[in-house]
Amino acid sequence: MRLIEILALSLAFVFLIIGVYEIMAIGPASGYWAVMLSIALFFYYRYKKPKNSGNKGKD
């Protein structure tokens, strides 16, 4: 896993925690930005993650 993938996944998790906390403490409108940023970072992580070719056990 490359550094950019680790950072994207870590930031996605951090922004998810921030968003959930703000939603519970203040309301859905205040935490929306953090949850959406978290989802965007997770999608970026999944897009950049190398795909398995499926030929792992085959010659």
Quick check: is 14 in a domain?
yes
Mean pLDDT over each residue of the chain, to the nearest integer: 88
Which long-range CB contacts under 8 A does 5-11 form with residues at least 24 apart?
5/45, 5/48, 5/49, 8/41, 8/42, 8/44, 8/45, 8/48, 9/41, 9/42, 9/45, 11/38, 11/41
Quick check: is 23 in a domain?
yes
CB 35 within 8 A of CB 23: yes
pLDDT, one tens digit per residue, over 1-57 is 789 999 999 999 999 999 999 999 999 999 999 999 999 999 999 998 877 655 665
Quick check: is 28 in a domain?
yes
Quick check: is 36 in a domain?
yes
pTM above 0.75, yes or no: yes
* Count of structural domains within the chain: 1
Domain range enclosing 21: 3-48
